[in-house]
Amino acid sequence: MSQQSLPRIVHIFGQTPHHYVHMRKFLLDAMFESGIDQVFWAWALPGCKQSYEGFEYYENGRALLTWMETQRQSVRFVFHGMFERQIWPYLTFSSVTARSSWVCWGAELYQHAEKGPTFKRKLMNLCHRVACKRMLDIFPLNAGDGKLIGDYIGARPSEPLPYPLIGVDVQSKQKKDQTLRILVGNSAAPSNEHDWIFQSLSKHANQDIELIVPLNYAGSEEYVAEVIKRGHELFADKFRPITSMLGKHEYDELLAKVDCAVFGHIRQQGLYVVYTMLKHGKKMYVRGATSTFTSMSSLGFHLYDSDELSTLTFEQFLSFDKEKLRINQQLMEETYSEQALIGKWRQRMLALFQQYP
């Protein structure tokens, strides 16, 4: 049988090469000898001519829809996140939607909860809801987001389909000093609530600490400047912003060096950091009301509640239960490793061909 006649899945990614490059290999491994041909598309970064082997690139929603409609009727489409909002109105009226599925990353979901949306945003959200209800399937990353899909989209999602923690081969190294290195947030997006975290940690500014704050993507220049200014005001030379992009290995080395991570998001975000910290057996602070906290706690993971930061002494902030962190490491291997998830992804992808003629 020729490759052209094989059942085909087109995986559609956003502007996240640090994610999609590694997911391609995982998906190829997952579907090895399945009789399924897989194609990989990604959203081109503005002004960037760099491309990655095995990927084709679309410029915008209109171009993406044109590509989708040139595929034969038997093809299935899987959106890994739906961040190119321009595609939403097109999907509302296109027949390809009935052959599409969406792996919900979270950010595209949470915009439905934003206060005071403009008329244009309301219209886009309506298109998103209508299109998603016509899809083959919706996969949340955790059970909490699954409930929110029902609340915001009005659709019934499948059981959660997490992404695996891929290729973290950097090991934590023995510390050579007593400095407590704290990772704050995962990006320059305002949803990181940087100032809220800074205020919560400011009472420890005289301690031997270093705040490492990734600000290298997802935020405006104005917001980045504001965060840097505030960080230096409160923590002086103990504040270390990261404004240049890091390669995956560099980022993994950074996460291996920090002692704990603190998230202030009021939503699910930055799961790569969460998973990596748990894999290394380090403290991970996440706000207790997030789907990340509630869903992972229900699986037996032990996360620390960021809402309690302002009440903790420095000694309490430092302390940890070695046994709980060891259990986190064990659960990571059993729940979010490639080995743990490869069979689930294979099963879900194969099932797409059983839901539409």
Domains of the chain by residue range: 3-164+338-354, 180-335
What is the mean pLDDT of the segment spanning 163-178? 78
pLDDT of residue 269: 87
User: In the CATH scheme, what is the code of domain 3-164+338-354?
Assistant: 3.40.50.2000
Q: Which long-range contacts (CB under 8 A, 24 or more apart) does 217-220 make?
A: 217/187, 217/188, 217/245, 218/187, 218/188, 218/189, 219/187, 219/188, 219/189, 219/190, 220/188
pLDDT of residue 48: 72
Q: What are the Cα distances from residue 96, in Å, to 23, 123, 130, 284, 351?
A: 23, 21, 14, 41, 17
Q: What are the Cα distances from residue 1, in Å, to 27, 37, 67, 185?
A: 21, 11, 24, 49
pLDDT of residue 46: 75
Q: Which long-range contacts (CB under 8 A, 24 or more apart) does 299-307 make?
A: 299/331, 299/335, 300/327, 300/331, 301/327, 301/328, 301/331, 302/327, 302/328, 303/274, 306/197, 306/200, 306/262, 306/263, 306/264
Burial 191-202 (b: 16+ CB within 10 A, else e): bbbbebbbebbe
192 has a pLDDT exceeding 90: yes
2 has a pLDDT exceeding 70: no
pLDDT of residue 4: 61
pLDDT of residue 355: 64
pLDDT band at 184 (very low <50, low <70, confident <90, very high): very high
Main-chain dihedrals φ then ψ at residue 229, nearest 5 degrees: -60, -45
Whole-prediction pTM: 0.86
pLDDT band at 1 (very low <50, low <70, confident <90, very high): very low
Q: Give the closest residue to 104 by CA, choosing from 44, 161, 151, 165.
A: 161
pLDDT of residue 3: 57
Same fold, 3-164+338-354 and 180-335: yes
Percentage of the chain exceeding pLDDT 70: 96
Cβ neighbours, 10 Å, residue 286: 28
356 has a pLDDT exceeding 60: no
| CATH class of the domain comprising 180-335 | alpha beta
Return mean pLDDT, the chain: 91
pLDDT of residue 176: 72
